[in-house]
Structure 1
Amino acid sequence: MSRQITLVSWNFENNGGSDAEKRQRAHNKLVRLRPHLVFRQEMWKADSDGSTILYQLEEVLGLRGWLGPEACTAIFADPRLFRPVREWPKTGPMWVLPPTALTVRFLPAGDEAAPLALASYHLNYASGTNRVAEAEWLSTWADKKWTTPRGETLRMPCIIAGDNNSYPVPGVEGDPALPVLEKINDRPHRLHRSYVGPDGTRVMDTRPDEALRTAGMEDVARHWAVRHRDPAAVSRTVNACETHGPDSRVDRVYATTELLDAVSGVDVIEVPEEESDHHIVRVTLNGDRLSDILNQQPSAPGSLIAPRATSSGGA
């Protein structure tokens, strides 16, 4: 039987604030999902007092944690399956809430397999202009290179997950409909979630999704929903509210296309509103298939192999 790898992404509201018991309960919820990778957002104050909160969460989850700049985001990984080979503390100039970015080796794939680039991110809340720039910087993690023991240069497969504060491009059955701008009661929020289109009218912001998909990263939930006719995969990740409009799917996981064949399931675990304002996105991967993909090193165009003379792929 193949190993199942479970990945979850969650913007846990305000990291529980000053309520340590709430934070403990929230991460106990994650433990019950038995994750091997956790992408967290809103890690506020996890760097205080010598990163005490980060290490407490490591103990609760039973995973090793990496905290990004300014305690905005974090990644936790099962050390039995993932070994870090590089951190990326400088993630580009545009970030309001900097991501956590790592290069890791999937240990079951072996030492000669391609590593994985990972990033947990939180796009800007208030500025669509900044969000699209941040999404463009995220694309650099789909362009990171690695040199194999044989001296070949690979473009590493990549998984990123986070809060996009914007919407996926419409067109998939089950995906929450885009809000109608005029029906968003909170006037500043109309600005925050829209931009001026080519005809001079405001439209809802789907540009980060379009940018990432242009860069060769697929919305994993969208892929699963289409391929397996499973509209539940694109369920809401944020509930409707009076001020901000209808249900929306602002939390998403993206992967470079070669990894899609390893995806074995996508769903959303709803969280009561008193616990957090975002739900949990869960993706499962077939570990054997993941190992096979990481060990494939073809030289055809569009493959993992990149020309030896190319740059290291951004920040």
Structure 2
Amino acid sequence: MLINVATCNFEYNGGGNQTLWRRMHDRLASLDLHLLLRQEMWGAQDNDNELADAAEAVLGMTGRIARECSTAVYHDPKLFTPAGEYPKTGPWLLPPTVRQFQLTGTAADAAPLFVGSFHYDYASPAARLAETEWLTRLNDRWARRGDGRRVHCPALLGGDTNSYPVAGTPGDPALPILEKIGDEPHRAHRSYIGPDGTRLMDDRPDATLRTAGLQDVARHLTTVTGDTSPVAPTVDACDHGPDARIDRIYASKQLLPAVRAVEVVDMTGLSDHHTVVLRLDRDTLTDILNHPLTRTQ
């Protein structure tokens, strides 16, 4: 069995267009998802949770929405049991949703899985770096067991990074050329001043997550298989720049053996972001969680 995980940025109320909202959620439901990491949940809890409840019904999943309706995590209750929350939100302008889950069929002392949906700051490279540093703590969570062991709780995180992956992966969209970005404010939003005083396109969040042991699953699969379709653009060219891979899923490196496929699902006409779908082998993931990284102190 494959466990299907998606990250998706979609303006939740569709700008008030209920037909668009329904089409988008029908599209997501057709992907047979078990975990959905959502961004931009504006209006989800208006009218006594009207759209939030409707989404759960269409998706057949249970959702948890962050404060300010900025992000959400949906899960298949037949496959994942909530085992805790991570409510601290640190420096975030748009708070993430982070939940801890026990995978059905794992042992009682198996490691839980941290699952998070995040949305980096749109306009500030400095803020994105601070938000990234906060995310790295999710790869540093350890649970104590009765025999004195501490087991590592791996993380699976997806979201809108508003930044770029470090260059070098075959097939990855090229980094924008600063002067060719038509929207001048966006030149500042997506770049930072380097050591020599010149502006560089912002890839620091990606580099920081990788340093902390959280790997981009699309890059991983392309590197292993040579197939470049996992690193297809997730936003199309516009006045903000050329095609780019803004939406990404990261996983603790011990989860990578469970990665079977990564697909960018075209959402043209539904959203300005395409949806990234990760497929994990359930048996392999079960074995990883049943035999987690362990330390005695």
Q: Deviations over 1:9-68 (max 9, x none)?
A: 100135412222211110110111100000000011112233221111111100010001
1:281 match: secondary structure: strand
Q: Choose from 214, 233, 236 the match for 1:236.
A: 233
Computed over aligned residues only, the root mean square deviation of the Cα atoms, in angstroms, reads 1.1
Among 286, 291, 300, the residue aligned to 2:286: 291
Matched, 1:277 2:272: yes
Whether the 8 Å CA contact 1:69–1:89 is kept in 2: the answer is no
Taking the TM superposition and a 5 Å limit, the aligned residue runs for 1:104-115 are 104-115=101-112
Aligned equivalent of 1:33, options 11, 31, 51: 31
Q: CA deviation at 1:151?
A: 3.5
- Counting only pairs closer than 5 Å after superposition, residues 237-256 of structure 1 correspond to structure 2 as 237-241=234-238, 243-256=239-252
**Alpha-carbon separation, structure 2, partners of 1:150 and 1:62:** 38
Change (3 A) 1:13 1:49: closer
Normalising by structure 1, we get a TM-score of 0.92
Whichever residue aligns with residue 27 of structure 2, its letter is: K
- Specify the code of the residue in structure 2 equivalent to 1:146: A
Determine helix, strand or coil for the equivalent of 1:239.
coil
CA deviation map 1:109-141 (0-9, x unaligned): 232211001110000000000000000001111
**Percentage of pairs with the same residue:** 47
Query: Hey, what does 1:312 align to over in structure 2?
Result: none
Mapped contact 2:42–2:70 kept (Cα < 8 A)? yes
Alignment-mate amino acid for residue 218 of structure 2: A
Q: Is the 1:40–1:75 contact (alpha carbons within 8 Å) kept by the matching residues of 2? A: yes
Paired AA for residue 290 in structure 1: L
Structure 1: 5+ residue stretches without partners? 298-303, 309-315
8 Å CA contact retained: 2:12, 2:43? no
The superposition leaves residues 185-220 of structure 1 with CA deviations (integer Å, 9 ceiling, x where unpaired) of: 111000000000010000100000001001100000
Contact 1:13–1:277 under 8 Å retained in 2? no
- Residue 99 (structure 1) shift: 0.2
SS at match of 2:77: coil
Partner of 1:160: 157
Which residue does the alignment assign to 1:182? Answer: 179
CA distance in 2, matches of 1:172, 1:110: 37
| Alpha-carbon separation, structure 2, partners of 1:153 and 1:229 | 37
- Number of residues of Structure 1 aligned to a counterpart in Structure 2: 297
- Return the TM-score normalized by structure 2: 0.97
Deviation at 1:295, TM superposition (A): 0.9
Is residue 13–residue 278 contact of structure 1 (8 Å, CA) maintained in 2? no
2:133 to 136, 147, 169: 136
